[in-house]
Chains A and B, each alone.
Chain A
């Protein structure tokens, strides 16, 4: 069984951990920030490149993001990711100083003088915690403009709460006070990082570079759901589900997995994948950045959702479709009209009024949406719903 390697989750793993600044300072908090305050942006970038740290979700190298950063950008820490079943960011927000320290280093590297912690409006407890943490950090002069120039301001920016506000373009629009819709009119001068990435920034600089870790949020039909941290690529999906998360409840059977979160395809338990010359079962796929895109799945944000045979799959699909239909921005026609249509159809099927042609029509509609929507969110929805309907075709048929 692979051993957990908690870096980002280290403090949260300790039962006695308090999120206050004194506790954090006693655990060598802000040491990395102090050490690298004098370092040049170039050396920080080099350190990221050597470590190979990637932005969680997109998989882009952090060093590349920093290279492409505009002049004097605003650093936005996107704590608004509202993917159902992904509780990783919310967990990490309970150790706010770790995130603030990482963000300060990242701001230093890109030359940002302002950090926005862009948090979902429903996470009120986390917002309070973060606001208090920023004030504490200000009292210790980590946050705020320094007298002799330099320094970085930070504040909490409460987002709208819809999933679309956490997508890249949604963040860009929200930061300049616009509706979260894709814009062709250029982008504001921002650098966007996810919560996990800025936490990792701190740890990359503080520990030996070989151990780059990833946090996975495992949920659904497993015995020990939760956040787990492992060195990148050190374990397979099977190990994650069965060894780390305790496997399924005895007597239940695995039906499908969302290996990359619900914003990607659902995969059948018995699916085989061609990985180079080999045929690999789902369980043997390594949880790293490069394998999944080869299989036509995005790496996602590190959430794994397990579906066993005890749940009503039809309800899962209807619930997920309800989420998609209500959380989109409504900008482009295929996504707006398609999601509403699919949602109405699934609600009807749920009521037991299904028609024989429904499944084929749903597959046809998701096909019509693919490649014709304005943003990745619509593509995710089409992929996700298409895979679910294909996989659980029989469950959707009304008897």
Chain B
């Protein structure tokens, strides 16, 4: 479809047909305040804050300005349309909407958890009145109503924008919450007979423009302006939900969804929101039989064990990043070793949680580590029982819990994990690892979309898995130039450095497979 010409405040822009004025304004970087519209939900048009002045040329090419302002969120652009976003009438409309919104509403930004990340607050800063003309008694509405497993509603703060109601109806296809009553008594309520079963409640907290819906577990956190936002990828499942990680001084505080129209739109499951909470003890030091050593010593000892035992078994993992998997592939190719792999499957929900509960299984296909879906649980057990290999290099998988204690005895277990577990305690050599929030890398999701995650927090002194594998490779006299190797293997990444990968990722094909 060809583009059309539209004028914003007398400047001409070329925009695609069939989009609304609001979408066009966002594309060209013009700010039109809006509260009740969301790019992924249907248009409602109830907040009336996106009103703009619009004119179309008549047949004599004279501009005919419409007498009343129109909604930018629901009016489609037309060729030759003129839009005023800053005129006196538009400003007056926005100011009047703000005055109406704030007349009855409590002005409690100072104690509101949404403050700093609140669209209503932002618009109020631009168009709110500094003093009130409202001399009546403010309407009292209930506060702290529990509307969901983790959701608290403050009815006084609610501006009835219907975003959450539309989210339930259109995205979840389930009426979890709805409006009751009518007119100025309208109130948000739990829909009767709703089973309340959903893994997506907290998305309503994200889209709530007024701080009326609050996550009961996420109150009293540092203000958003004190936190650093880092783009990342959820490791919950192979969907690869795009997330933002909020951190401050090395501590993670929250995970929120990041918009990616190809993957998760603007949503994420609740179950992935606390991925940073892990009560288990961290592995932060290299150890040989419990004694703390440096990485060099641990790697030297491991390489020596590998060389002595002839062949060795590797248990890889779909939790490894694409870079780590390429390094592992190099190690597999250059040493007498055999690769084992486990699947992690559970029932998905058909939306943003898939059956495959690992983030990077397709990365293993791309790096050439795997050629078919893995299921080596019994093979590993058998290999341990039959003493096939004396030395094992294991990533993440807690094999000590399901391999016989007897079979483990006498084996050299080189174990690599972020947190301590039974295998870490049994390990001969323990190599620490960094979590997805502490390093940068790439995952390939279920649709072969390559997505990168960045380092949100610095963890000093803990070596990464890449360092460990590189160290092992150096003992076999191999040096790897990692990124050129990946580029050679995946044609779609030619001429693209890691920094140049867009945050929304690159779509790869299944055939983009390392030879």
Interface residues of A (CB under 8 A from B): 162, 164, 179-182, 184-185, 325-334, 336-341, 344-345, 348, 355, 361, 364, 368-374
Contacts and interface: CB of A to CB of B under 8 A. Distances in A.
Contacts of A327: 183
Interface stretch (B67-75, B226-234, B457-465): B67-75
Contacts of A373: 48
| Best-buried of B49, B67, B182 by chain A (most CB within 10 Å) | B182
Contact of A372 (B42, B74, B97, B104): B97
A330 B186 contact: yes
B72 to A, nearest CB: 13
Given A331-B46, A368-B92, 10 more contacts: A185-B43, A325-B184, A326-B183, A333-B47, A333-B159, A337-B100, A337-B103, A339-B183, A341-B104, A372-B51
B48 A184 contact: no
A106 B408 CA distance: 87
B46 A332 contact: yes
Contacts of B499: none
Nearest to A328: B183
B125 interface: no
Interface string B89-106: 000110011011101100
Contacts of A334: 48, 96-97, 100
B139 interface: yes
Given A162-B182, A325-B184, A372-B97, A330 B160 contact: yes
Contacts of B49: 333
A271 B160 CA distance: 41
Interface stretch (B128-136, B149-157, B383-391): B128-136
A164 to B, nearest CB: 7
A334 B42 CA distance: 21
A371 B46 contact: no
A179 B180 CA distance: 9
A246 B133 CA distance: 45
Interface residues of B, number: 37
A371 B159 contact: no
B113 to A, nearest CB: 23
A336 B182 CA distance: 10
A340 B42 CA distance: 28
A282 B100 CA distance: 36
A372 B48 contact: yes
B192 to A, nearest CB: 15
A336 B183 contact: yes
Contacts of A370: 68
Report the 7 A-B pairs with minimum CB-CB distance, sorted nearest first.
Answer: A371-B68, A368-B96, A337-B100, A344-B136, A330-B186, A340-B184, A330-B183
A264 B252 CA distance: 59
6 contacts: A179-B182, A328-B184, A336-B100, A336-B160, A368-B100, A369-B96
B101 A179 contact: no
Interface of B: 42-49, 51, 67-69, 74, 92-93, 96-97, 99-101, 103-104, 133-137, 139, 159-160, 179, 181-186
Given A185-B42, A336-B184, A337-B104, A374 B160 contact: no
A217 to B, nearest CB: 26
Contacts of B47: 332-333
A345 B183 contact: no
Given A330-B182, A333-B47, A371-B69, A184 B42 contact: yes
B45 A333 contact: no
A289 B68 CA distance: 24
A338 B46 contact: no
B96 A372 contact: yes
A182 B186 contact: no
Given A371-B68, A372-B51, A341 B182 contact: no
B68 A372 contact: yes
Nearest to A357: B133
Given A184-B42, A371-B67, A340 B139 contact: yes
A340 B104 contact: yes
Contacts of B68: 370-372
Nearest to A164: B182
A333 B67 CA distance: 20
A348 B135 CA distance: 10
A374 B43 contact: no
Contacts of B179: 179
B486 to A, nearest CB: 47
| Best-buried of B104, B133, B137, B184 by chain A (most CB within 10 Å) | B184
B128 to A, nearest CB: 14
A179 B183 CA distance: 11
A360 B93 CA distance: 18
Contacts of A333: 46-49, 97, 100-101, 159
A370 B100 CA distance: 13
A184 B71 CA distance: 11
Contact of B184 (A181, A184, A337): A337
A341 B103 contact: yes
Given A333-B47, A336-B183, A344 B137 contact: yes
A185 B182 CA distance: 20
Contacts of A340: 104, 139, 184
A181 B181 CA distance: 12
A184 B43 contact: yes
Nearest to A355: B135
Contacts of B183: 162, 164, 325-330, 336, 339
B185 A332 contact: no
Nearest to A341: B103
Contacts of B43: 184-185
A326 B69 CA distance: 27
Contacts of B135: 345, 348, 355
B17 to A, nearest CB: 19
Contacts of A355: 135
Contacts of A361: 133
B185 A341 contact: no
Given A327-B183, A330-B183, A330-B185, A184 B100 contact: no
Nearest to A185: B42
Contacts of B97: 333-334, 372
A374 B100 contact: no
Nearest to B105: A337
A161 B186 CA distance: 16
A336 B160 CA distance: 10
Contact of B48 (A162, A326, A339, A374): A374
A226 to B, nearest CB: 32
Nearest to B134: A341
A337 B97 CA distance: 9
Contacts of B69: 371-372
Contacts of B181: 330
Nearest to A337: B100
A205 to B, nearest CB: 39
A344 B104 CA distance: 11
A41 B69 CA distance: 40
Contacts of B96: 334, 368-369, 372
A89 B318 CA distance: 72
Contacts of B160: 330, 336
A12 B43 CA distance: 47
Contacts of A180: 182
A296 B387 CA distance: 96
Contacts of B182: 162, 164, 179-180, 328-330
Contacts of A164: 182-183
A374 B45 contact: yes
A334 B95 CA distance: 11
A320 to B, nearest CB: 15
Given A372-B93, A372-B97, A330 B48 contact: no
A333 B36 CA distance: 11
A338 B159 CA distance: 14
Contacts of B133: 361, 364
| Best-buried of B42, B92, B160 by chain A (most CB within 10 Å) | B160
Contacts of B92: 368
